[in-house]
Structures are given as C-alpha cells and as structure tokens.
Structure 1
Amino acid sequence: MNIVTEITIEKLNQHLVDIKIEFTTSHDNPILEMPSWTPGSYLIREYARHVQNLKSLNIDGNNLQVDKVSKNNWKIICASGTRIVVNYEVYAFELTVRTSYLDNRKALLIPASLCMYIVNHHTNETSKDEEITLKFNIPSTWKMYSSLLKKENDYFVKNFDELVDTPIAMGSLDVIKELQYNYDDNGKEIPNTVVFVGDASNEDINKFALDLQKLQDCSIKMFGKLPYNRYIWLLYITNNGRGGLEHKYSNASIIPRYMFKDPKDYAKVLSLEAHEHFHVYNVKRIRPQQLGPFDYSSEVYTRLLWVAEGLTSFYDNIFLARSQLVDRNSYWEMIADDLKRYYQIPGRFIDSIESSSFDAWIKLYRPDENSVNSTISYYLKGGIVGMMLDLEIRSQTNWNASLDTFYKYMFGEYEKDPTKGFIENDLQSLIESSTSTDLTIFWTKYISGKEEIDLEKYLNILGMNIEKSSTDNVPYAGINFKVRSTSVQSILRDSPAEKAGLYAKDEIIALNGYKVTSKNFEKVLKNHESNDLVNITLFRDGKLIDIDLRLENPIMDKIAIVEAKEITDQQKKLLDVFFYS
C-alpha cells in the first residue's frame, strides 16, 4: 500500500494537528478507521469526535467522494489501484498521556488519537500490519523527541501497533530540558534520553537521570538484561494532574510542578517512573494474548489487569527500596498508605480483582458516587496481593523461589517467541510450575474471590506488624465530600449516613444548627461521642431537609507497619533477602 502519514504542527492557537495520509488502495472504496482507545488505558475515548474537515483527493488533485459510515469510519469512493491523499484536522487540547495536546509552546502527540488505518470492507482485512513512513513538519524553533527510527530523512514504523506505541513530544526550546546518557547493559551501550517539557520546575535533571539508572540497575538484577536498545523518558510538567503510560521503548508521564525536592513527593515521581519502566517487561513483552496485537475499534477484555497493573504496582514500590532510592521506613509508609486507602473501600467485599479487571472499561475509568461501594481498584488491591503472593511463594519454597522467579521464567519464554502472549487461563499454572508451588487456596481467596486480605500474616514472616489506630478519635459518619465543597461525593455502604438516609449529591450546610464546611466537618464531629444523635441540615434537589444521624465508633484510619519488638535474627535475614540487601 506504500502508506505515508504526514503530521503538520502549525495551527498552534487553534490546537489543530493537520494529518495527511497517502496510500495506494488495493481494493475499491477503502475505509479509513480511527481508533477508539489506546492500549494501557482501558476506556473507549471516541477519538473520532475530534476529527474535522476530512477530505480526499486522488494523486492528480481531483476530489474523491467521502462518506462517513460510522462514528469512526470514512469510506472513500474510488477504484482499486487509486493513489489516495486524505487530509484532516484533529483538535488536540487535553494534556494527558492518553490524549493529544497542542498549544503555542508544546505538543504531546498520542498516535491513536490522531492516525487512522485502512479497512477493506469486502474482507474486513486492515492495513495494521503494513509499514508506515512518517513525515513531520514542526515549527523551526521547536524540537521533537520520540523512539521512532529514521529511514533517510523520514521516520518509519513496522506496523500500526508500533505507531500507536510511540508517543511524540515536542516544544519550543524554552520549555524543554533534555539530558542524554548511555546505560551500560553488560557491555552494551543503550542510549537513553530524559526530556522535561513545561515551564520551570524544581527538578534536578542530573540527579533524576542517575536515579533512573538505579531503577535500570534493579531491572537487570532481576531480569538479567534490559529488553530494549533505546529508551526515552518523557515528562510533562504541569500545574496539576498526574499519570503515566507505558510503551515498549519509552514512557510518557504527567508530573505536577515542584514535586522534585520534598522526599515524599519525589518518591511519588520515582514510583511512577518505576511503574512505567517495569511495564517494558510486564505488559509490553510479558502479556496475556488479549493485550496485543490490538483491536482498536472496541473493548478488549481480560481478567488479568490486576497482573498488568497490580503486580506492577507491587514492583514499583519494592524497586525503590531495592534501589535504595527510599529507605525501608519510607517503603513501609507507602504500603501503609495503600492499606489505609484499601480499608476505606467497602467495594472490596463486592468485587474481586479478576472481575474488577474485566470491568475496567465500565468501572475504573468511569467512577461514580457508588464506585467506592461496588468495586475495588485492581491497581490498589493488586499491588497488595502482589506482595502477599510473593511471600506465599517464598514461604512454600523455603525462600528458594519468589514472584521474581515467575517473571524471570516468563521473560525467557518471551525471548523465545516475542510474538506470543500467554493464555489467560494458564496464568495460575504458569506461576505454580515456574515456582513449584500450589496456589489453589490463595487464588480462591484473594484473586478470584473477595475474602478480606490477610497481609499481616505475611508481614509477620518478615518480623513486621500492622498497627491500627484512629487519628483523632472522630466518631464515624461515613460521608465523603467533593473537593472543596459541602456537596456529598459518596455515602459509604453500611455507614451511619447510609442508615440515616443521606444521599450522594446532598449539600450539607449545618450540624445541630451550626454551619459546617467540608474542612471543619470532622472537627465539629470530634466534639461528639459515639452513639450521639446529631441533626444534619442539607439541601437535596433545592429542598431544605433535616436528618438525624447516630454516630458510631471511630474507624481505624491510621495505619503503620512497624518492626516487631521481638523480631528474630532469622526474620531480619529474610527481610534483607526481601529487599535484595
């Protein structure tokens, strides 16, 4: 087909990216199809809604008729063998790692939200396996970064999947800070580029690059080698917002400004980078069959997102500790924070991490006021279960195997045949066979089941205990407020508020006749005792209502993971092994 895609950046203040696709059709009336989602982010995003002014010409410049036949499909009326030129604009003004963005100083191009592939409507075959030549026209004072490979003066990708897997950063030199280094992987020099895009922050790019190399050191210690021959770390600095998305030869992150000095803030940045970098093994290479190659037109279902994201969440924190980027106390504080969030989600008794994974398309990425009561994050619980699974394997094998053992085995299998993902239903047996364990009970309780986790049982192996307490002994009501608002975000299941008849979206204005805000609500409650009956005044759909609510005992909302007073020498030794010390 000889597909050429040309991307032009010139309509900066209109936030419009110009796309030109040129190809020779092998069949009559080809269809151009725009993806509806991008891998790593499981939500139908309807990228086609931002396409405008789509027109088509033949190579002689004559107009070709274009019929839009569905929300993301355009049929070009022409004969087989026609050389076709298609031009269109894409509105790009949402700065996330899943969507494209353009302003007068910078751009982040997410190819799934910009580019199209060709469909043969007779056979439903597509051009997704075809090589694509890429051309870029950008402002002369801008610079571009990506993991794309060059061919003469242009770039190319082997197929559409590779294009989608390649975020493209660019901007004027005054908003870009760049550092390049070569990482020595067993004598092989791997070029890396660290790119910050955005207005001045408090980052130290030299220190940051050294810390990234420590994460790479940890990867080599676990897997034996890095799986790539080049890598780009793309970080967009913004006033707010946070997120990352993994790619085979790069990752893209959104980082709030001024996160690089305070140790806890900086640990969050490093944890995000560790998470996305671990994905170069887990998901981008070691993956269930459902996660590549992709159908970009509709949902792709798997019950293993708890593996893709949850187990990666376990490793992003432990890698910080193993790399000594955080000390052990800081590591346990991060795990305690996760536990605190977990225990505040009643939905953990309703949803397993397998079903949460399967329903990601309609739940995790589309939260509502009842989400906290009906589902559990496969990131959050998956990370906690990952630690438990690691320690279960270690316990069953007298510490001769671990979760690392499984991943090393799977990476070896990937290298034998990079095109092949594993069968979803084989996962349990793959872990068991590679580690010589029986995980039937564990799987039934914590993965396919909804039984309450017993992390303390596993932490005791390491000589660590969980301590729970109430922060301020505030009686429990079970109300979550919207940010900076007295409007109720959610009412927790089986809470005093639910029993009293409070609803999400109620606007609470007073308690026992005195004005309250979301900031002072708990402070006011602190003046009451458990079992007190309090009167709450609120607006519901514009009507003033009074509701009596009986307070209950304070919840244990403060969690610490601490070393046992009677920790043994053997437990200290196991703790050292756990942290690679």
Structure 2
Amino acid sequence: MRTLSLQYQLSVKSWQQHLFAVELKVPEHNEATLTFALPSWIPGSYMIRDFAKSITEITFTHADTGAEIAAQKIDKQTWEVATNGDGVIVNYVVYANDLSVRSAFINHEYAFINGTSAFLNVVEMSEVRCTLQIEKPAQSHWQAHTGMTPIALDSNPQYWAYESHSYAEFIDHPIFIGECETLSYEVDGVTFELVFSGSHQLDLARIAKDLKPICRHHMALFDHPQPVSRYVFMTLLAENGFGGLEHRNSTALLYPRHDLPRLGDNSQANKTDGYITFLSLCSHELFHTWHVKRIKPDVMVTPKLGEETYTNQLWIYEGFTSFYDDLTLARAKLIDGKKYLDIVAQNISRLLQNAGRYKQSVAQSSFDAWTKFYKQDASATNNIVSYYTKGGIIAFGLDLLLRHRSNQTVSLDTVMKRLWEIYGRDECGTPDNVIATLCQQEFDIDVNDYLDSVVYGTDDVPLETWLDDIGVKLHTRSAVSAEDKGGYTDATEIRHQLGATCKPAAMGLSVIQVFEGLAASKAGVMINDIILALNNQVVNQAKLQRLLDCASDTHVTLTLIRDGQIVNVALPVLQARQDRAYFTIENEEKLQQWLDH
C-alpha cells in the first residue's frame, strides 16, 4: 500500500479571539469519496469532549482548480466529500479558549493545542505520513516546542516544520507556541526538555536537579529500555489550575506559577508542599511513558476516538502510577520517609471520607470513567470511588503482599518489569486479568483473593496485615479542622462533626458537599444551602466548629437559606468520625530497607 503524505499547516489566527487556523492538503488518491473526522476524546482523558464543536469555519476546495467542493456533514464530527481521487485542501478555524491540558488555549503569552483538537483525520487513509508546518507568529520572541520530530524547511523560513509516521502518532504530540523559559538536561543518554510558559524567572536549574533522579528511577525500574530518546515536560503556568496528560514522548502540565521555585527566592530552600506536588505530577506523567503509552489495556491499542472505549483496567494504569509517583520522590531522597507516609495517609484519608467506596469497585469505576468519574456531581463522594486514589492504595498493598508471600523476593517492581517485557515492548495490550495471571504464572503467587476483595469487591485494602514488615503502623483520628487532609499532627481534634464541606458566602457558609451518614445529611442539609446561624449565633467556618464542639445538647438548630427561604433544621450533635489517617514509624531500618527496594 502506497504511503500518502498529509500536509498540515497551523497558525495563530488571532490571540485576542483565541483562534487557530488550520490547513490540510490531501494529495491525489484512489478514493471517490473521502471522510474527514476529528476525534471526540483524547487518549488518557476518558470523557467525550466533542472537539469538533470548536471548529467555527470549514471549507473544502479542489487542490488544482481552487473551486469549492460541497461537503456533507454526517455527524457532529465528520464530513464527507466527493473527490473523485483528486487532491483536496481543507481550511478551518479552531476556537481555543480551554485552559487545560486536554484541548486548546491561546492568550497574550502563548498558544497551546493538542492534535485531537486540531487535526482532521482522513478515515480512508490508514497508511499516511503527516507533516506539519507551524507559521512563526509576529511575536519574534515566541518559540515552538513539541515532541514531534523536526524537519528542515530551508525553502520557507517563516515556518517551523515537523513530521510523524502515522496519524495516531501525529495527534499524540501537544504543541506549544509562545513566550517561555526552557532548559535541557540529559539522563543516561536521554534528553529531557523543560518548557514553562511565560517569563517568571523560575529556578530551572533546581527543578532539573530535582527531576533528574526521578527520571533515573523510572528508567532503572524498567531496566533502562527507555522507549524514547527525547522527552518534553511542557508546563502551562497559571494563577490557579492543576492537570497533567501523558503523551508518547512528552507531557502537558498545568500548574500554579507561584508554587514553583524562583531564582533568588531563599524561602524555597526547603521544598514546599506545592513544589513537592509538582515533582510528583512530573513523576506520574513520566511513568506513563511506559505504563499507559506502551503497556496498555488491549482495547486501548487501537482505540476508536469517535466513541467511548471501555475498560475496567484503569485502576492498574492510573492506580499503579499513583503509587509510584510519590514513592519515587522518597526513593530519590527528594522527600524523607516521614513526608512520604504523610502523603500516603492523605490519600487514605480521602478514601475514609468517601462513602462511595462501599458502593462501587475500582473495576467498575474504571469502566464508568466516561460518565461517573469524569462527570462528577456534588454527590460523587457518596456514590463512586476514585480508581486513582484507591488504585494507588491497592498497589501499595499488592507490593507488601507480594513481598510477604515471596519471602521478599518478589515486589510490585518485579511485576512492572515483567509487564514491560511481555506487553510493553511490543505494545500488544493487557487482558483484564493480567495482574492475577502474571503473578500466578510468573511468580507462582496467587493474588486472586486480594484482587477479588479490593478490586472487584468493595473491601478496604487491609494494609495493616503487612505494615509491620516495613516497620510502620497505621492509625486513624478525627479531623483537626475542615482543611485537615490527614497525616500526622499534634493539633487538637474536633469533637463534633458537621459532615458537610462549605465555602464562605456573602453571608454565612455555602454548602458544596454533604457526606452520607453524618450529621448534616441526617438533618436534611442540602447542597447549595447557605448556613447562616447555629442556635441563633451567626457563623463563619471557625465559629461554626467552635459552637459545634461546645454543644452539650443532642441537637442544635441550624438556620439556613434555601432557594430564597429561611429554613431551620435540627442538626444532631455527633461524635466526630475518625476519618483521617496517619502513620507512625516503628522501625526506621525496616522502612528504609523497603524504600531502598
């Protein structure tokens, strides 16, 4: 089959109006009719996003005559054009105002776009080479960065040029055009590039220094079979926002600009929680280079990007990666064992507050990611469980279980190496039962009882069974405040618990979550209620908790505004639930041995 070349051109049409212009040139071919389609979701983010809704104008013209060709739109993202085998030029405009890692965004500092938001696929042409020319913008200091392979374009210096060897590869390279700070470093023969949007005088040398051992750890875990020779950490900086999305040799990140170390900022001598979270996010997305982009569920080897692709394996992919992202920081000595255990305790605390963990298994959560996980409403915590959070705790437990049952000769590291060797190198895709089968066949360890309980069932992970092996003990306590995320603290615990999450309102507190089975739920407090007073005392967050803790009666009166009306409800005064976890280190040597593998 002859490989055809699809030529794409991308330019920033207007940063003020958030518009990209795209041109696609299709050469002569053997089809009477061509079908042009834009994906409706982006791999790694399991939700139908209907990217084609952002195409604001589109025209199809004959490549030789320039005459416009009629196109029939056959669904929300697909156009059909009668070409009689002649070349076609497609011109269209993409609206780009979604500040996220999943779509496209333009402002005065930079333009960012994913291929799934920008580049039409020619359905009939399965064997294609895709080339891209990016028009250099008027802002001469703007740069272009992407993981795509650059090619020379001596004949036209007004463009940056790149190529990919398939459409699937082509759309798996996010593109950054704009003002930025950059730095490159090398680890074991692989070049890593840091790209941060804007100009903020970041301490890039320090960030690179801290990322190097993370890169080295991941490469060593998989015995150095690095599937890429170049990797780009592409970070969009904003006042607020958080996100990361993996790609075949890059990641797109969204992060608060003020949480990163800056040049000359001595206050950053110690790692802040915000900076630790950034390093963990980088660790997470880099780990996906092996575990998601190469090792992947069988149905994700060639997914249909126009419709949902269901799998119950996301707990393996996002869960295992969530275990390794923070663990790597401890192994790399970027944080100590105590800080690592506090991070794990915060993850466990999120689960302990999540009544949905008793209603939905992580296998079901994986399958329903398209709706229940990615389209959460305010009651989600009562009805679903996160395959990220519980999946990470499952991975922690599986590591301890394998070590225990193998007399410390097999660990989750061992499993990851075999997953890579069997399924990752050739990208052949994993079956649903891959973990149980691999542990049984490769290591003669039966983990079906564990997986049936915590993956396909809704039991909590029995970490306490094996924690003595690594010298730590798990405890629970009540919260010390509404902002308490869990982990060790010596602050005084609250006595009584509202059982709802609130945020300040113009008057009082606005209810944004109500937790099933706790006091607010029993009283009939509803989402969007405004709590004005407790026993006729006007409240803010701190005062509400003080009054609750001092309450001696079985009930107190909450005064609410609900849909413009004053409502009084009787709130039961209940002992605060022990839903915050923390660890104590009983044997430093055992813990360090585990962290050191």
TM-score (ref. length: structure 1): 0.92
User: C-alpha separation between the residues in 2 aligned to 1:483 and 1:293?
Assistant: 47
Describe the shift of the 1:476–1:372 C-alpha distance in structure 2 as closer, same or farther (beyond 3 A).
same
- Is contact 1:7–1:135 with CA below 8 Å preserved after alignment? yes
Using the TM superposition, give the Cα deviation of residue 199 of structure 1 relative to its aligned residue in structure 2, in angstroms. 4.2
- Is contact 1:533–1:550 with CA below 8 Å preserved after alignment? yes
For residues 517-567 of structure 1, the C-alpha deviation after alignment (integer angstroms, 9 at most, x for no partner) is 3454323322224x6311111122222211111111112244321112xx4
Q: Aligned residue for 2:490?
A: none
Describe the shift of the 1:546–1:407 C-alpha distance in structure 2 as closer, same or farther (beyond 3 A).
same
User: C-alpha separation between the residues in 2 aligned to 1:305 and 1:312?
Assistant: 10
The residue type equivalent to 1:513 in the other structure is N
- Is contact 2:337–2:592 with CA below 8 Å preserved after alignment? no
Alignment partner of 1:40 is 2:44: yes
User: C-alpha separation between the residues in 2 aligned to 1:464 and 1:323?
Assistant: 20
Taking the TM superposition and a 5 Å limit, the aligned residue runs for 1:302-341 are 302-341=311-350
The Cα RMSD (Å) is: 1.8
User: C-alpha separation between the residues in 1 aligned to 2:441 and 2:198?
Assistant: 48
For residues 7-40 of structure 1, the C-alpha deviation after alignment (integer angstroms, 9 at most, x for no partner) is 1123111110001111135322322111111011
User: C-alpha separation between the residues in 1 aligned to 2:547 and 2:200?
Assistant: 41
For residues 190-238 of structure 1, the C-alpha deviation after alignment (integer angstroms, 9 at most, x for no partner) is 222111113416x310011121110122123311112211111111111
The residue type equivalent to 1:42 in the other structure is Y
- Is contact 1:402–1:435 with CA below 8 Å preserved after alignment? no
Q: Aligned residue for 2:239?
A: 239
Can you give the 5+ residue segments of structure 2 that lack an aligned partner in the other structure?
154-160, 261-267, 481-492
- Is contact 2:472–2:591 with CA below 8 Å preserved after alignment? no
User: C-alpha separation between the residues in 2 aligned to 1:454 and 1:520?
Assistant: 37
Describe the shift of the 1:95–1:6 C-alpha distance in structure 2 as closer, same or farther (beyond 3 A).
same
The residue type equivalent to 2:174 in the other structure is P
The residue type equivalent to 1:75 in the other structure is E
- Is contact 2:352–2:580 with CA below 8 Å preserved after alignment? no
3-state SS of paired residue (1:133): strand
User: C-alpha separation between the residues in 1 aligned to 2:228 and 2:548?
Assistant: 55
Relative to structure 2, which stretch is displaced further, 106-115 or 24-33? 24-33
The residue type equivalent to 1:479 in the other structure is A
The residue type equivalent to 1:208 in the other structure is I
Alignment partner of 1:563 is 2:585: yes
- Is contact 1:306–1:382 with CA below 8 Å preserved after alignment? yes
Q: Aligned residue for 2:158?
A: none
- Is contact 1:12–1:104 with CA below 8 Å preserved after alignment? yes
Alignment partner of 1:384 is 2:405: no
- Is contact 1:314–1:383 with CA below 8 Å preserved after alignment? yes
Using the TM superposition, give the Cα deviation of residue 183 of structure 1 relative to its aligned residue in structure 2, in angstroms. 2.1
Alignment partner of 1:18 is 2:21: yes
Q: Aligned residue for 2:489?
A: none
3-state SS of paired residue (2:259): coil
- Is contact 2:295–2:424 with CA below 8 Å preserved after alignment? no
The residue type equivalent to 2:563 in the other structure is D
The residue type equivalent to 1:134 in the other structure is L
Using the TM superposition, give the Cα deviation of residue 362 of structure 1 relative to its aligned residue in structure 2, in angstroms. 0.4
- Is contact 2:296–2:424 with CA below 8 Å preserved after alignment? no
3-state SS of paired residue (1:56): strand
Using the TM superposition, give the Cα deviation of residue 496 of structure 1 relative to its aligned residue in structure 2, in angstroms. 2.1
Alignment partner of 1:453 is 2:461: yes
Using the TM superposition, give the Cα deviation of residue 272 of structure 1 relative to its aligned residue in structure 2, in angstroms. 0.4
- Is contact 1:56–1:64 with CA below 8 Å preserved after alignment? yes
User: C-alpha separation between the residues in 2 aligned to 1:539 and 1:244?
Assistant: 38
Q: Aligned residue for 1:474?
A: 495
- 2:378 is matched with which residue: 347, 356, 369? 369
Describe the shift of the 1:431–1:291 C-alpha distance in structure 2 as closer, same or farther (beyond 3 A).
farther
Question: What count of residue pairs does the alignment treat as equivalent?
Answer: 558
For residues 456-499 of structure 1, the C-alpha deviation after alignment (integer angstroms, 9 at most, x for no partner) is 22222212112322223231231122566722222211122222
Q: Aligned residue for 1:96?
A: 100
The residue type equivalent to 1:83 in the other structure is G
- Is contact 2:144–2:175 with CA below 8 Å preserved after alignment? yes
Q: Aligned residue for 1:8?
A: 11
Relative to structure 2, which stretch is displaced further, 540-549 or 192-201? 192-201
Describe the shift of the 1:573–1:438 C-alpha distance in structure 2 as closer, same or farther (beyond 3 A).
farther
- Is contact 2:213–2:332 with CA below 8 Å preserved after alignment? yes
Q: Aligned residue for 2:219?
A: 220
Q: Aligned residue for 1:122?
A: none
3-state SS of paired residue (2:512): strand
Taking the TM superposition and a 5 Å limit, the aligned residue runs for 1:521-540 are 521-529=544-552, 532-540=554-562
Can you give the 5+ residue segments of structure 1 that lack an aligned partner in the other structure?
120-125
Q: Aligned residue for 1:510?
A: 533
| Percent of residue pairs identical | 30
Q: Aligned residue for 2:203?
A: 204
The residue type equivalent to 1:231 in the other structure is Y
Alignment partner of 1:435 is 2:433: no
